[in-house]
Amino acid sequence: MPSYTPPLRDMQFVMHELLNVTADLQAIPQFADTDVETINAILEEGGKFASEVIFPLNISGDQEGCKHDKVTHAVTTPKGFKEAYHQYVAGGWPALSCDPAYGGQGLPLVVNQCFYEMMNSANQAWTMYPGLTHGAYAALATHGTDEQKKTYLHKMTSGEWTGTMCLTEPHCGTDLGLMRTKAEPQADGSYRITGNKIFISAGEHDITDNIIHLVLARLPDAPPGIKGVSLFIVPKFRVNADGSIGERNGIYCGGLEHKMGIHGNATAQIVLDNAYGTLVGQPNKGMQGMFVMMNAARLGVGNQSLGLTEVAYQNALAYAKDRIQMRSLSGPKAKDKPADPIIVHPDVRKMLLTAKAYAEGGRALAVFCAVLLDKSHYHPDEKTRKDSDEMLSLLTPIVKAFITDNGHISTNACMQVFGGHGFIKEWGMEQFVRDNRINMIYEGTNTIQSLDLLGRKVLGNNGATLKKFGKLVAALVEEEGVNEKMSEFITPIAILGDKVTKFTTELGFKGLQNPDEVGAAAVDYLRVVGHMVFGYFWARMAQVALREIANGNTDQFYVAKLQTARFYFARLFPETTTLMQTARTGSKVLLDTDAALA
């Protein structure tokens, strides 16, 4: 059976030693009292909830799955899921980062981010039930009317009601302009909505009394394509004027998807049959509200793979220390045993260090982005808000695609450490691989994220935002350029920074001549920039570790951090050379292939 220990020490390192998040947070009036002790205490309790309450349900939830009653359309979640959710609500966890105006605790989003990483490690399928509610909450808080906020946000904040996002239809996935769900206006200002949605995570369940669906649909006079999409609130049960639950609405689960992973989460086929709904925001401007949810979800999906990378690494490390197989090539290491533990073998260490480097690099980026989110929402200075939002926009596709791709690499590597046992259900490793696989697909496939990064976020503004991140790299290079002990970390990112500038310019010119060149290079490009971003954070982590060691700190944590940084730059970072080479081969080798693909 697998185990899980919340990585509190590394979280504390990233927040307090690497990024000094309290300095940023205390510049925001509502977070002025935030301190290190408070953050640490909350996350310690959050870690207990994750490891003691929902982690024990992970394997059983996967094995049992959800059950759908075709007559009543009701969905039953795995044994223990509902009771765990009640503990989650009783502990006040849904309200952690919500607005006090709606009953929230008003804590920074970065605290919620770290809590959710631990829950994703413990049980991704369970965590998706409350997780999607945060996106729905954010969309309504940003674009909802006062009446809508009053009706729904208090209950969503308390956790009494959950939320979903209903986008995909059987004939359209990412291309939402093709959707057919219709919304007919009514005399009372409401709408009647009819259509079918698929792949709706947590779309139906028995965990809460009501589910608040945010649904994309078309008005009768809507223009074609994405510019004709509107957003609606469609509750499972209508809400009475006094806030109590009213009659059943015309929205129900027509079936559950049979999936590779996340079996404990109800991925529902949703039928809307003349369902009552109210418009969110302006007609035909639904993507404005939905993008609030989608951007939050993309950060959340990266966090899911971060959590799975961490828990897979922990279990692979423990197994590698215990499992004995063969002798070290350089001579016996465990002379009192008939064979050595497999952790002595170089390739086993490579697999373990890959997962460790990607987990800790991902955590640094995820926390950095969560602080940007806090600043973009709440900072009193308008320029700081704008700059933070711009940087977050650049980094969001990297969080979603790079961290989930790395999660795929890492969970597979950790399963490999177990050998044949990794392929067997009882050890839990194959579940981490299966659960992670969806993260590369939903909320916009990783190819879509790559096109978004290169086409929109970089070339769309002539690289202006990328240059701003480049200034962070340049400042670190300037600060540590003459420090010999930092040269093995500084030199690679300085060289790559220059190469990325030229690489981006080259792709921009090629794209002007033939847009397919952007499509052909985008996936490789995102991984190159992802490594540049990770390289920056790993260099900064090495900087902190070296400083602590120089000051006489004997904590082996810093030695471990330094060794992991060296591994990352020696074994993972050089992938950028190959990626730039393959990206430069262009679109012809991909598109001039009609005979090959006949």
Cα 562 off chain centre by: 26
Tell me the one-letter amino acid at 163: G
Return the SS3 of 409.
helix
Check: CB of residue 122 under 8 Å from CB of residue 311.
Answer: yes
Number of Cβ within a 10 Å radius of residue 212: 25
Integer Cα distance of 196 and 193 in angstroms = 10
Residue pointed to by tokens 């800790």 = 360
Distance CA 186, CA 537 (A): 54
Structure tokens at 510: 């090629």
For the CA atoms of the chain, what is the radius of gyration? Answer: 24
Q: Is 443 a catalytic residue?
A: yes
Between CA 361 and CA 194 the distance in angstroms is 45
Residues in Cβ contact with 286 at an 8 Å cutoff, skipping those fewer than 6 apart: 216, 217, 229, 230, 231, 232, 280
In 12-155, which ranges are E strands? 67-68, 75-76
- The residue from 443, 480, 517, 548 that is catalytic is 443
| Three-state SS at 584 | coil
CB within 8 Å of 138: residues ≥ 6 apart:
292, 293, 296
The answer to whether 265 and 202 have CB atoms below 8 angstroms apart is yes
**Residue 397, beta-bridge partner list:** none
**Eight-class DSSP state of 267:** E
| Number of other residues whose CB lies within 10 A of the CB of residue 469 | 19
Determine whether 3 is exposed, middle or buried from the number of CB atoms within 10 Å of its CB (0-12, 13-18, 19+). exposed
Reference 141, options 292, 267, 259; nearest CA is 292
User: How is residue 234 written in tokens?
Assistant: 């469609």
**CA distances in angstroms from 143 to 165, 192, 224, 289, listed in the order given:** 15, 20, 23, 6
> Is 53 exposed, middle or buried (CB count within 10 Å of its CB: 0-12, 13-18, 19+)?
buried
Q: Where are the alpha helices (DSSP H) in 330-423?
A: 346-378, 382-417
Q: What are phi and psi of 200, to 5 degrees?
A: -90, 105
Residue type, 542: A
Active site residues: 443
